[in-house]
Amino acid sequence: VDTVLYIVIGAIVVGLVAWRFMIPSMDAFIDKAREQDDIAPIVDAVEKMRESARPTAYNHAIRKLWDAYQRPLAIELIKELARKHDSSLISQYWLGQALKVEPELASKQISQEFQKRHYRPDVASQCGSFG
């Protein structure tokens, strides 16, 4: 009985590892987006995830782009996150960051109407250093 249990557990572990290697990581989609100068690969990958995992995936991608000084792409992705998850704290954090850290760029990419619809400064100010 113990041997059968170990074989089953081993098969599950091997299956999970193999499955993980067959699915491209989020970093591959971020690299592709940077190469194409288009957020579509990231958005497509995130939208295939379960709903509850999407804000975290967007956060990961935005952080990578932001830290690599790919700010125009990051801001486009921030807008996508805010459009789809504007009640999430992370979307409020990133909108606030874009508007504070890159005001000139953000004003070109994020319209006043978009801000009125999706941005909640009172919430963003409470988020701290979320990203």
Tell me the per-residue pLDDT of 78-92, one tens digit each, with 9 for 90 and over. Answer: 999 999 998 888 999
| Of 102, 99, 103, 96, nearest in space to 122 by CA | 96
How much helix, strand and coil, in percent to the nearest 5, is found in the chain? Answer: 80, 0, 20
Point out the least confidently predicted range of 96-100, 114-118, 127-131: 127-131
- pLDDT category at 24 given cuts 50, 70, 90 is low
Number of C-beta neighbours around residue 40 at 10 A: 13
Question: Contact 19/3 with Cβ under 8 angstroms?
Answer: no
Tokens for 131?
């990203």
Residue 11's H or E segment, with its range, is helix 2-22
Q: 33 pLDDT exceeds 50?
A: yes
